[in-house]
Structure 1
Amino acid sequence: MARLAVRGEELIVELTWWEKITARHADVRVPLAAVEKVTVERDWRRAVRGEPSRGVWIGDLLYLGVREQADVRDFVAIRPRRGPVARVDLRPAASPFARVAVSDRVPEATAATVRTAVSHHLLAPAGSGCADPDPAPRRRPAWLPGRSPAPAPPAGI
């Protein structure tokens, strides 16, 4: 079943091969900066909103794909019989989705992991590499071939 994972500066809903085919969607990738709130819903129905748009919706068995409500899109990967759901609410315009909801075996631990990653991302200093995707280019050391540490001799000697 799908699972939430944090890789670098992204929150990823990792789907199995059959879930990608069924949902007609690749893994969902969201920047950690887009995460607004992470909760655990005991009742999976509270995490699902809107009408089915793309994916599979099988009664009390499987909810997998994109759901739409007005101009809001959510991605869900829920198995109702598996218990609680990890729900991630996202900031508007920062992601193609407003909410991601995933069934998880240990939703409390998953939610805590995502919260920790988001707080570390938000608290990272500007020069820590999190916010600087294009660092200044390095200069070649003088001892590398093609570079001479000594000035060239004057012409005619």
Structure 2
Amino acid sequence: MARLAVRGEELIVELTWWEKITARHSDVRVPLAAVEKVTVERDWRRALRGEPSRGVWIGDLLQLGVREQADVRDFVAIRPRRGPVARVDLRPEASPFARIAVSDRVPQTTADGIRTAVSQHLLTAAGPRGADPGPVPRRRPAWLPGRSPAPAPPAGI
């Protein structure tokens, strides 16, 4: 069963080997900076939009692959009988997909984990506010010993 995972600065939809074959797609990787909103959909149908493009679409059994609507592409890995769906809306300019929807046994925990990873990523990317950059190194004046503007004589003379 597909699952959402955060590795480093990426959100990854990890697919099993048979899901990769069925969806004709490898694991989906998007940068955490592309994540706009993470929600949990109780009804799996609300996570779907557009028309099936490539993948497998078997009614209430399996929804797996890419869906398209106008210029928007979504990736879904939904097993309707498994319960709620974790839905991740993405910034379209930063990702090939606008939405990712994945069935999850504990979707609320997964969504919370992604939200935490995104907020931590944003904090580290922006840097802490009001942080002290540390002491500014002082330059030694040229007249102090060891700071002669003239080159040192060669060794052994």
TM interval, short-chain normalised: 0.7 to 0.9
Q: Deviations over 1:109-154 (max 9, x none)?
A: 00000000000001115579xxxxxxxxxxxxxxxxxxxxxx9635
Which residue pairs with 1:24 in the alignment?
24
Aligned AA (2:74): D
Question: 2:16, 2:36 → 1: CA distance?
Answer: 26
Question: 2:119, 2:101 → 1: CA distance?
Answer: 20
1:100 aligned to 2:100?
Answer: yes
Q: Deviations over 1:18-69 (max 9, x none)?
A: 0000000000000000000000000000000000001000011000000000
Question: The residue matched to 1:53 in structure 2 has which SS?
Answer: strand
Question: 2:8, 2:126 → 1: CA distance?
Answer: 16
Question: 2:125, 2:64 → 1: CA distance?
Answer: 38
Which residue pairs with 1:143 in the alignment?
none
Aligned AA (1:27): D
Aligned AA (2:86): A
Which residue pairs with 1:69 in the alignment?
69
Aligned-residue offset at 1:92: 1.7
Which residue pairs with 2:115 in the alignment?
115
- What is the aligned-residue identity percentage? 87
- C-alpha change, 1:127 and 1:152, in structure 2 (3 Å) is farther
**Larger Rg, first or second structure (1 or 2):** 2
Aligned AA (2:155): P
Matched length: 134
TM-score (norm. length: structure 2): 0.81
Which residue pairs with 1:153 in the alignment?
155
1:82 aligned to 2:82?
Answer: yes
Question: 2:38, 2:29 → 1: CA distance?
Answer: 16
Question: The residue matched to 1:105 in structure 2 has which SS?
Answer: coil
Question: 2:88, 2:60 → 1: CA distance?
Answer: 22
Which residue pairs with 2:46 in the alignment?
46
Runs of 4+ in 1 over 3 A off after TM superposition: 125-128, 151-154
TM-score (norm. length: structure 1): 0.81
Which residue pairs with 2:2 in the alignment?
2
Aligned-residue offset at 1:93: 1.0
Aligned AA (1:153): A
Question: The residue matched to 1:118 in structure 2 has which SS?
Answer: helix
